[in-house]
Structure 1
Amino acid sequence: MTRANTPPAVELRGVSKTYGSGERAVTALNALDVVFPAGTFTAVMGPSGSGKSTLLHCAAGLDRATGGEVIIDGTPVGGLSERALTRLRRARVGFVFQAFNLIAALTAAQNVALPLRLAGRKPEPGEVTAMLGEVGLADRAGHRPGELSGGQQQRVAIARALVTRPAVLFADEPTGALDAASGREVLRLLRAAVDRHDQTVVMVTHDPFAAAHADRVVFLADGRLVDSLDGPSGAQEIAVRTAHLEEVMS
């Protein structure tokens, strides 16, 4: 549920992103306006090449927009130096990717503690163990990624993303490399983060079942927001919308 009188976690105002120049220029985002309210779960869908990943990268401050304005947790990022932008991402943005991106030489606990240490903060006693407990892996704190299943590694990645209590967590196809059971568990954890901790989650996915866990589904095509479903929607309804959009755009 959106928190009353709270500014959006992320807002994109007229955001464009162009790669290349001249005849070879490719417009990935085209004057896009979208708001991700605090305390909500939004799924971003669309055909291949629609701009989903570019939206995530610009909204998260991983890539700079060519035009328009990106605002993260009330801070416009366009005028920030690279150092200031890095600090903002470390403190206010969490990431979960299809590839778990854990450091193989570190234990689960050390991987989870890493964002805190990069931000210059020593973890409080029990803080990391408690976060691993939230994803059901307190008993795996001393295990390295190679000793964990894919689903367990992704759950460690979720704990790592949430340990700083970010303003927004971006998830890019977080279930794409997992079996069905592990994927359901990851989606349950993301949903719980929203419902129990007022976390904001923005998830890029091609999977209607995954998108059905969100409060809202937004659909992109040619770098524009072309459709949306507000309120909990079933996977079948989302699949129908997706198929229609792909048919229109083909």
Structure 2
Amino acid sequence: MEALDSAVELTAVTKHYAHGVTALDDVTVGFGRGTFTAVMGPSGSGKSTLLQCAAGLDKPTSGRITVDGRDLTQLTERKLTLLRRDRIGFVFQSFNLLPSLTAAQNVALPLKLAGRRVDPELVRQSLDAVGLAERAGHRPAELSGGQQQRVAIARALAARPAVLFADEPTGALDTNTSRDVLRLLRSLVDRHAQTIVMVTHDPAAAAYADRVLFLADGRICGQLLDPTAEAVSGRMLMLEESC
């Protein structure tokens, strides 16, 4: 995939940790604009490290990472912080909403902390994109777990990120609620051309993606296009048996 067609590009990325642990081993991969990629692999395969390096949360030992055309490895810490704030969105398993703030205030908070003018219409549009415009005045305790995760996604979307990184976004949700959140992520790709990279252990969740990328021992060991839950499960079983 050409770099110009990629929202995120990793080139020969390696990440070493202490005690001789290699979390990523010469990884080269692109994540196309307006696509949904799920990243899977056995425990310790490097999934989380890949996401953290790609999102600029951790620095690779070697290699090159570009997000929206900017080389993260060449940025100062301040410029990297600004890029993460302006062009990268994050959604995690924990919702990380402030209980004293309304949904709209939680969405607006990162913009305020960044010293940016908060446009109420942008906040409304972000909540509308996740189907919660009518719940803007509700606090987290007044929302279900799925609705809280939707607010967290709206918060990530408010900055209009080039890429949205999701780390086990449905891990704390029940099956039906998880399905609703995954449908939302799918619709953000289909209707708004949002780029999403999601780490998951759930084959059913991965089946919502355009592509599933498989890691083992810090290396990419295959992919599935237009995946089904059954095909993902079969590939994961093979990986786990070989590890």
TM norm structure 1: 0.93
How far 1:138 sits from its partner (Å)? 1.5
Q: 1:29, 1:55 within 8 Å by CA — same for their partners in 2?
A: yes
Matched, 1:53 2:48: yes
CA-based RMSD of the aligned residues comes to 1.5
Secondary structure, aligned partner of 1:9: strand
After superposition, give the CA deviation of every residue in 1:23-65 in whole Å (9 maximum; x if it has no partner): x221111111111011100000000000000000000001111
Matched, 1:213 2:208: yes
Tell me how far apart the structure 2 counterparts of residues 206 and 34 of structure 1 sit (CA, whole Å): 20
Matched, 1:184 2:182: no
Candidates 214, 217, 227, aligned match of 1:233: 227
Tell me how far apart the structure 1 counterparts of residues 21 and 100 of structure 2 sit (CA, whole Å): 39
Q: 1:132, 1:138 within 8 Å by CA — same for their partners in 2?
A: yes
In structure 1, the residue matched to 2:12 is: 14
Tell me how far apart the structure 2 counterparts of residues 80 and 130 of structure 1 sit (CA, whole Å): 31
How far 1:181 sits from its partner (Å)? 1.1
After superposition, give the CA deviation of every residue in 1:190-234 in whole Å (9 maximum; x if it has no partner): 00110011100000001000000000000000000001012x121
Q: 1:95, 1:171 within 8 Å by CA — same for their partners in 2?
A: yes
In structure 2, the residue matched to 1:25 is: 20
Secondary structure, aligned partner of 1:244: helix
Q: 1:100-139 residue pairs with structure 2 within 5 A?
A: 100-139=95-134
Secondary structure, aligned partner of 1:78: helix
Structure 1 unaligned blocks of 5 or more? none
Tell me how far apart the structure 2 counterparts of residues 153 and 58 of structure 1 sit (CA, whole Å): 27
Structure 2 unaligned blocks of 5 or more? none
Pair 1:73–1:5, CA change in 2 (3 A): closer
Tell me how far apart the structure 2 counterparts of residues 19 and 9 of structure 1 sit (CA, whole Å): 27
Tell me how far apart the structure 2 counterparts of residues 83 and 103 of structure 1 sit (CA, whole Å): 26
Secondary structure, aligned partner of 1:34: strand
Return 202-211 or 137-146, whichever deviates more. 137-146
In structure 2, the residue matched to 1:87 is: 82
TM norm structure 2: 0.96
Q: 1:39-78 residue pairs with structure 2 within 5 A?
A: 39-78=34-73
Pair 1:61–1:221, CA change in 2 (3 A): same
Identity of aligned residues (%): 64
Tell me how far apart the structure 2 counterparts of residues 87 and 214 of structure 1 sit (CA, whole Å): 28
Tell me how far apart the structure 2 counterparts of residues 226 and 191 of structure 1 sit (CA, whole Å): 25
Tell me how far apart the structure 2 counterparts of residues 16 and 97 of structure 1 sit (CA, whole Å): 24
